[in-house]
């Protein structure tokens, strides 16, 4: 099975390895977040499947604010859509 990082790269063009774990990507959806967005991106980097079921990934509030959240230009909105699709394919939701 390809890694989550590769799946994201192929489906969205977003290169997760550019993430510096700076955690600048805060969005104001406090009730929807169990894992900070930056940590969610890092979980993809380390191919941690738990990311596919975290509350943050399934928050529409986060999704709607994620496109410009990364100071390094990673489109987290696009990344989240790929991860959601992957969760469905793995029958995790
Ligand atoms: S702002 Fe971008 S580079 Fe920094 S932790 Fe968030 S996703 Fe990674």
Residue whose CA lies nearest to ligand 1 atom number 4: 22
Question: What average pLDDT does the segment 27-35 reach?
Answer: 90
Question: What average pLDDT does the segment 20-40 reach?
Answer: 91
- Ligand 1 proximity of 93 Cβ (cutoff 6 Å): no
Count: domains in the chain: 1
Q: What percent of the chain has pLDDT over 70?
A: 100
Q: Which of 8-12, 24-28, 50-54 has the lowest mean pLDDT?
A: 24-28
Query: Which residues make Cβ contacts (< 8 Å) with residue 2, sequence separation at least 6?
Result: 10
Band (pLDDT 50/70/90 cuts) for residue 30 is confident
Give me the domain span that covers residue 65: 4-89
| CA–CA distance, 33 with 61 (Å, rounded to integer) | 10
Query: Which residues make Cβ contacts (< 8 Å) with residue 42, sequence separation at least 6?
Result: 19, 21
């Amino acid at each position: 099975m390809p890694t989550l990082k590769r799946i994201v790269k192929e489906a969205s063009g977003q290169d997760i390895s550019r993430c510096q774990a700076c955690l600048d990507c805060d969005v104001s959806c406090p009730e929807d977040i169990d894992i900070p967005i930056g940590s969610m991106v890092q979980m993809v980097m380390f191919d941690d499947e738990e990311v596919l079921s975290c509350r943050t990934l399934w928050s529409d509030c986060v999704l709607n604010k994620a496109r410009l959240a990364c100071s390094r230009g990673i489109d987290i909105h696009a990344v989240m859509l790929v991860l959601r699709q992957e969760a469905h394919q793995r029958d995790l939701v």
